[in-house]
Structure 1
Amino acid sequence: MSNLAQRQAWMATLAKASLEQLQEKMAGLEPLPQYSFLRPPEIGLTQVRGRAGGTGQIFNLGEMTLTRCVLKLHSQPMITGFGYVAGREHFHAELAALADALMQHNDWCERVKKIVIEPLQAEAIRQQQTQQSQTASTQVNFFTLARGE
């Protein structure tokens, strides 16, 4: 997996985790390094697009609230972290940006991966499997009988 694909994967994990999950995992990293904001957490809107039938024509579905944050670690070389999360949670975006920056830092990368990213990915997979099993248990199979005429 390329560096870009790896970063996209961990940023998606951070964005999809709940604030409570992310806080709990990040607490395991303390003491955290010093950082400052390049762009403090701010709320905005983004256009959400969909595809008809999942694969068809693209259409604008609507807008959703998004919170973003950009910060830099006080380290050499300067490392910048980005956090984009759905909703209006300033602290969630800040923690996601901090985790992104730490994942790019050689001294922190493995710790953050083991303590934050991998457990959050495992929890997301478990929740997805639970939801799929609950959905499967309510599935109704319809069939038709040919009339013998």
Structure 2
Amino acid sequence: MTIEAGRDDKDGTGAHSTRARAMRLLAMARTETLQAALAAMEPHPEVALVRGPETGLIMVRGRIGGGGDPFNLGEATVSRATVRLATGEIGHGQRLGTDREAARLSAIFDALAQRRETRGAVEALLAEIEAHIADEDRRKAEETAATRVDFFTMVRGDD
């Protein structure tokens, strides 16, 4: 799946879901991974902050049973940033928590994904992030499986 520059419409082409996937992965990435990827970019992109990075609260809504009436579950801390590259592309980054640097870096990579010249590097970064998340999920599943208890019922002959 590739990132399409300037396409965030919902016309069935999948461009909207592709950018959403990229932003989801960037929001889940480790800050060190994003820093290393940006440091390795040549030439280093010229970036201007448009907004933030800043931290605030969002209201988390829930539904009983997944289909009931929505209700306000509580608040969550979120950090966000918006940047503009010297070439004009605007990127947005956000993540749960207070890591403003990670939000800024996510915004930079969102903007870089819109440029044909840097799209390949961003796709490689996204693949690396996706692999790291899959490895982490697999490791957690293995740890959980080690504590699993299987119960069985023995049938008694008195019934």
> Fold match, TM over 0.5?
yes
Answer yes or no: is the 8 Å Cα contact 1:29–1:112 preserved in 2. no
Which sections of structure 1, spanning at least 5 residues, go unmatched?
A: none
Task: Give aligned-pair identity as a percent.
Answer: 36
**In the alignment, residue 131 of structure 2 is paired with which amino acid?**
A
How does 1:68-147 map onto structure 2 within 5 Å? 68-75=80-87, 78-114=88-124, 116-147=125-156
**In the alignment, residue 73 of structure 1 is paired with which amino acid?**
L
Q: Which secondary structure does the structure 1 equivalent of 2:143 belong to?
A: helix
Q: Which residue of 2 aligns with 1:39?
A: 51
Offset of residue 145 of structure 1: 3.6
Q: Which residue of 2 aligns with 1:66?
A: 78
Q: Which secondary structure does the structure 1 equivalent of 2:139 belong to?
A: helix
Q: Which residue of 1 aligns with 2:17?
A: 5
Which sections of structure 2, spanning at least 5 residues, go unmatched?
A: 2-13
* RMSD (CA atoms): 1.8
Q: Which residue of 1 aligns with 2:26?
A: 14
Cα separation, 2, equivalents of 1:72 and 1:41: 13
Deviations 1:37-59 (A, max 9, x none): 22121111012234445x35344
Answer yes or no: is the 8 Å Cα contact 1:36–1:72 preserved in 2. yes
Deviations 1:26-80 (A, max 9, x none): 2222432112122121111012234445x353443321110100111111xx211
TM-score (norm 2): 0.82
Moved more, 44-53 or 17-26: 44-53
Answer yes or no: is the 8 Å Cα contact 1:41–1:93 preserved in 2. yes
TM-score (norm 1): 0.87
**Aligned residue-pair number:** 145
Cα separation, 1, equivalents of 2:146 and 2:72: 33
